[in-house]
Amino acid sequence: MSRRVPYANLLIAIVLLAPLAAVIATSLNAGNYAVFPPKGFSLDWFSEALGNTRFLDALRLSFVVAVASTVISIVVGFLAAYAMTRYEYRGQRLSQITALGPLTVPEIVVGLSVFVFVALRLQQAPSIPALVLGHCVVGIPIGLQVIVATMASQDVALEQAAETLGASSWRVFRTITLPLATPGLIGASLLVFIFSFDNISISLFLMPPGESTLPVVMYQYLDFRPDPSIAAMSTLLVALGLIVFFVLHRIGALKHLTGSGLR
Amino acid sequence: MTSATPRVAGRVRRGPTRVGSTTSVSWALPAALLAPMALFVLGLFVLPFVMVVTTAFTDAATDSWSLTNFQEFFSRSVGWTALRNTLIIGVGTTVVAAAVAVPYAYGMVRHPRWRALFIAVLFAPLLINGVVRVFGYQLLARFVDRVWPWGDLPLLYSLTGVVISLVVFMFPQMTVAVFASLDRMDRRLVDAAQTLGAGNWQVFRTVVLPAARPGIVAGSIITFGASAGSYLAPAMVGGGRVPAMPTLIYGSVSGAGSWNFGAAVAVVLMAIILPLMILSLAQSTRRSVP
Amino acid sequence: MRSLQRRLTATIAAAPVAVVLAACGGSGDDDTTTLSLSHWGGIWEEGVTAIEPGLSEATGITIRGAADGQNGLTKIQQLPTAYDAALLTADKAAVGLQDGTLQPIDTSRIENLDAIPDAVLDGLMVDGELAAVPISYGAQGILYREDLLGKKLTSWADLWDPDLENNLAIGALPSVAGVFVLQAGGEAFGEGPEDLEAGWEAMERLRPNIQYQYTLSSDPLSKLADGSLLATVTFADLGVDLADSGVTTLIPEEGTNWSVQPVGIPAEAENVDAAYDFINYMLSDEAQSAWVEATHVAPASQVAELPTEISDQLLETDDVAARLWPIDWLQIGTEIQDWTVRWQELFS
């Protein structure tokens, strides 16, 4: 549309990325301390981070938990969003307000109360399923908000027209509603994945013995160790994220988000 | 659209109907769709939160019903300071993040060739844990402070610094929400408005902003909840000078282990955040789209 | 209300959630004894990993550990039979014994108890009973940039030196690191480290010097290293690696406070024998060496024979051990809530 260079966006991008650049630069420190600008240059902290099996085990668990929480949250959130934007029913407002609940209290309260509830009432020790369910408590409302926003801004006239022309409900859903909701679903998935992948407060209560998620391991490591291996691990995560993004982009999986999608 | 008109006239109802006079399909289907969410929110949030409320109204010493914890909160100056700080943090972060996110998302719509890059920029920091992002912010802030020749910058250990850092952390989430609804905008409207001689600002105000509204509301709800509930930013960027509701809660829960006071703070926090969120939710349904 | 709540619980949430949880749970049976241990993460978890091979060789016990961090006691309160032993903070251990979450230690079953410094052991006594057995402790010290400050610090009172204006980092309550500075203030300007009122008063005067309060122990270290901070109060051993960055570590003559890493036994622990075997093993020469090497704190057992390359690194000499201040962990555990509110009021 516009051929000019989007200077405002570039400026915002630079400000946004600056702290990240500081972390990446810090990972190149030669010394034992994460200082910025870095003193000396070395890649040793990358091999240190990659050689830390705790980090890698935790990365695997975090990934599994984030994927599971995202899938559950998006399915559950999409069903609810569909009801909220396509139907009118008694208690509609109440359902929308209730869904906000978990977003109104700090995560530690969610974590502690879910843990106490699971332990006290259900007599269950922390486990990976409990951890996933705990993340979903906040993941569902996050996903729901984004999906509702996307579906609410859709033009229902399209759906009405299709029905008038004799399309079945399922067909309308599959060929119109779902494709139109896709950007919202992708955006929501990313936000929920990131929420779960970054979470510490809920995880601390619900992690099963012998297992830790990556943010928890990194946080606990950082408590007594100021060395740059955390910065190196973070740099690797950025690289990993960008590679995944690039691959998804190339195979067209993100075209609803990055391309023009349906017009 | 007012709440009395059906959203999909063809399927469920064909005209305005009063709640309660509908066929069985009209409640059974939405109820089925909402059931999984209701199960999660009621089972794993509302019921546990009932225990939080019970704890808040319990005196730790006597283990009986009392308002002690709330009295303690409202009688201490730090309670009021934390309340004020948290409101400033929540509202400030949300407003600034939205003010930056809307033009950014609009820029993504206007410049399709740059879009992949701008989205990559959004997601680059997000896989990194919040502690490390705070750490990166601190490193950068100290560096900027050192090379900045014109006086002191409030980037660290101040309320302003906490808000700035949270804007940096929450901006991507806000932008994704805004972009998800802005991307649905009919661009022919922009072209039409420009053809009719509307200036950039006019186009932005009359076409872009209304289209972005549901996304702004969704993003604001997420941002407001996350920033008002953030512990790391006030604790690490605030450097002990910016007490906030979450720092009081953390102090009580993980520091002291007996958390009646923290539960009371959480209840106060929810009593303030929830109405604000409901208000903004009402904004998203008051739409100008036909 | 209550019965309604219970019914809702049962019908709406409990059943499906419990089914999901149960379906995915389940634990296998082992031949060896498994000790379920709640512990801290980070270096402490590395310490647990370091002693594990020796432990299973010596006692046949394997550890099933959970890095609960600060949530350890809360978890035991809610799941009383989940853990056989717990590495806690001393204040939580004392509170845990008092409220019945932990069982008193049967001191006759601990072989090396006499080898633990008196101050460290006394602090963990609640009404004449021992809340948890210390396996190590770490003295606090002042870490500072002598080169940039241009002078030597010698005592706790030097933290109030105007030359440190806006250049000191201290721990924030509710971390005990904050309490330690209160005690230092009591020592410097009052009757002694127990004189907390003098400490609070001194805190008021320390404000101009405080650049910020840290929440992570390692946070001030990189700032000391790059010179944007001149002094901090933290674990003395954290300064050892900083020596080549110009950082001097001081443990003042008048004594110091300390943190301790004690192991307690939950009141309803299922495997108490294994817990005692574990604690006794932890106080053995072999375990103390492995633990100290991984965590850099001082061995609780003063008779433990450590390899010289490990003992040479330790700042906690016998001399320092003799000057440890008495700390009443139960008092800290009980009052930290009020102190935290007061503290935040002071600094906001």
Q: Do B78 and C212 touch (CB under 8 A)?
A: no
H, E, C per residue of B209-238: HHHHHHHHHHHHHHHHHHHHCCCHHHHHHC
* Residues 6+ away with beta carbon under 8 Å from B99: none
Query: From the CA of B50, how many Å to the nearest CA of chain A?
Result: 9
What's the mean per-residue pLDDT of chain B? Answer: 82
If you write DSSP's letter for every residue of A169-211 in order, what string do you get? HHHHIIIIIHHHHHHHHHHHHHHHHHHHHH--HHHHHHPPTT-
Classify burial at B35, counting beta carbons within 10 Å of its beta carbon; exposed 0-12, middle 13-18, buried 19 or more.
Answer: middle
Q: Is A131 on the interface with C (CB under 8 A)?
A: no
Region of residue C128 (phi > 0: left; psi between -120 and 50: alpha; otherwise: beta): left
Q: Is B207 on the interface with A (CB under 8 A)?
A: no
C19's tokens? 């089914």
Question: How many Cβ contacts (< 8 angstroms) between chains A and C?
Answer: 110
* Residues 6+ away with beta carbon under 8 Å from A51: none
Nearest CA in chain C to B234: C215
Q: Do B44 and C348 touch (CB under 8 A)?
A: no
If you write DSSP's letter for every residue of B97-141 in order, what string do you get? HHHHHHHHHHHHHH-HHHHHHHHHHHHTTTTS-HHHHHHHHHHHH
Cis peptide, bond prior to residue C174, ω within 30 of zero? yes
Q: Is B181 on the interface with A (CB under 8 A)?
A: yes
Q: In CATH, what is the architecture of C138-257+334-347?
A: 3-Layer(aba) Sandwich (3.40)
Q: What percent of chain B has pLDDT over 70?
A: 87
Selected for mutation to probe chain C from B37, B49, B230, B236 (highest C CB count within 10 Å) is B236
Question: Which positions in chain C touch A212 (Cβ < 8 Å)?
Answer: 41, 67
Does position B11 have pLDDT exceeding 70, yes or no?
no
Element (H, E) at C144: strand C133-145
pLDDT classification of B14: cutoffs 50, 70, 90: very low
The residue count for chain B? 290
Q: Which of C96, C102, C136, C129 is nearest to C282 (CA)?
A: C136
Selected for mutation to probe chain A from C39, C40, C75, C261 (highest A CB count within 10 Å) is C75
User: For chain C (length 348 residues), average pLDDT per consecutive 10?
Assistant: 40 46 47 88 92 94 90 89 94 94 96 91 94 95 94 95 95 90 95 94 95 90 89 92 88 94 96 96 95 93 89 87 92 90 88
pLDDT classification of B23: cutoffs 50, 70, 90: very low
Q: Is A252 on the interface with C (CB under 8 A)?
A: no
Q: Is B248 on the interface with C (CB under 8 A)?
A: yes
Nearest CA in chain A to B186: A263
Nearest CA in chain B to A217: B129
Nearest CA in chain C to A132: C21
Express each pLDDT in A163-204 by its tens digit: 888 888 888 888 888 888 887 888 899 889 989 998 988 898
If you write DSSP's letter for every residue of B149-181 in order, what string do you get? -SS--TTSSSHHHHHHHHHHHHHHHHHHHHHHH
Residue type, B245: M
Q: Is B78 on the interface with A (CB under 8 A)?
A: no
- CATH node for A52-225: 1.10.3720.10
The closest CB to that of A89, out of B30, B46, B177, belongs to: B30
3-state secondary structure of B57: coil
pTM here is 0.87
In chain C, CATH 3.40.190.10 covers: 33-136+260-333, 138-257+334-347
DSSP category for residue A101: G
Nearest CA in chain A to B141: A19
C47's tokens? 């310490």
Q: Alpha helices of chain A — where are they, by DSSP H?
A: 7-26, 44-50, 53-86, 92-100, 107-116, 128-152, 156-164, 169-172, 178-198, 201-206, 214-224, 229-250, 255-258
Question: Which positions in chain A touch C64 (Cβ < 8 Å)?
Answer: 209-210
Q: How far apart are CA B184 and CA A177, in angstroms?
A: 13
* Residues 6+ away with beta carbon under 8 Å from C140: C177, C180, C233, C234, C235, C236, C251, C256, C257, C258, C259
Q: Is B254 on the interface with C (CB under 8 A)?
A: yes
Q: Do B112 and A249 touch (CB under 8 A)?
A: no
Question: Which positions in chain B touch A86 (Cβ < 8 Å)?
Answer: 7-8, 11-12
The closest CB to that of C348, out of B241, B252, B258, belongs to: B241
- Please report the pLDDT score of residue A3 as a whole number: 60
Selected for mutation to probe chain C from B55, B57, B68, B78 (highest C CB count within 10 Å) is B78
Express each pLDDT in B228-275 by its tens digit: 989 889 988 998 899 999 989 888 887 766 688 889 999 999 898 888
Q: What domains lie within chain B, and their CATH numbers? A: 84-288 (1.10.3720.10)
Express each pLDDT in B39-48 by its tens digit: 888 888 888 8
Classify burial at A185, counting beta carbons within 10 Å of its beta carbon; exposed 0-12, middle 13-18, buried 19 or more.
Answer: buried
Express each pLDDT in A45-70 by its tens digit: 999 889 988 899 999 999 999 999 99
Assigned CATH class of C33-136+260-333: alpha beta
Nearest CA in chain A to C71: A205
**Which of the other chains make 3 or more beta carbon contacts under 8 angstroms with chain C?**
A, B
The closest CB to that of C18, out of A116, A122, A225, belongs to: A122
User: What average pLDDT does the segment B57-85 reach?
Assistant: 91
In contact, B264 and B288? CB cutoff 8 Å:
no
C residues 190..219 contacting B (CB < 8 A)? 210-216, 219
The closest CB to that of A238, out of B110, B124, B215, belongs to: B124
- Please report the pLDDT score of residue A196 as a whole number: 93
Q: Do A126 and C66 touch (CB under 8 A)?
A: yes
Query: From the CA of A118, how many Å to the nearest CA of chain B?
Result: 9
Does position B22 have pLDDT exceeding 60, yes or no?
no
* Assembly ipTM: 0.85
Q: Select the more confidently predicted residue: C27 or B201.
A: B201
Q: Is A125 on the interface with C (CB under 8 A)?
A: yes
Nearest CA in chain A to B290: A155
Q: Do B274 and A20 touch (CB under 8 A)?
A: no
Q: How far apart are CA A146 and CA B89, in angstroms?
A: 22
Q: Do A234 and B132 touch (CB under 8 A)?
A: yes
Nearest CA in chain A to B86: A106
Q: Is B84 on the interface with C (CB under 8 A)?
A: no
Q: How far apart are CA C32 and CA A110, in angstroms?
A: 37
CA-CA distances (angstroms) from residue B195 to B188, B192, C92, C302, C322? 10, 5, 71, 86, 86
A residues 3..62 contacting B (CB < 8 A)? 6, 8-9, 12-13, 15-23, 26, 34-37
Nearest CA in chain C to A225: C218
Cis peptide, bond prior to residue A37, ω within 30 of zero? yes
- Please report the pLDDT score of residue C200 as a whole number: 96
What's the mean per-residue pLDDT of chain A? Answer: 85
- Please report the pLDDT score of residue A116 as a whole number: 83
Question: Which positions in chain A touch B37 (Cβ < 8 Å)?
Answer: 76-77, 79-80, 95, 99, 140, 144
Residue with tokens 């139960």: C330
With both helix axes pointing from N to C terminus, report the angle between B260-285 and B209-228 in degrees, rounded to the nearest 10: 180
Q: Is B286 on the interface with A (CB under 8 A)?
A: no
Q: Do C43 and A219 touch (CB under 8 A)?
A: no
Least confident of A13-27, A242-256, B9-23, C247-261: B9-23
The count of other CB atoms within 10 Å of the CB of residue C134 is 26
Query: From the CA of B23, how many Å to the nearest CA of chain A?
Result: 11
User: What average pLDDT does the segment A4-16 reach?
Assistant: 88
Query: From the CA of A102, how many Å to the nearest CA of chain B?
Result: 7
Q: Select the more confidently predicted residue: B191 or B137.
A: B137
Q: Do A122 and C78 touch (CB under 8 A)?
A: no
Interface of C with A (CB under 8 A): 9, 14, 17-18, 20-25, 36, 40-43, 45, 64-71, 74-75, 78-79, 82, 216-219, 221-222, 225-226, 235, 238, 241-242, 245
Q: Do A234 and B128 touch (CB under 8 A)?
A: yes
Question: Which positions in chain B touch A242 (Cβ < 8 Å)?
Answer: 120, 123-124
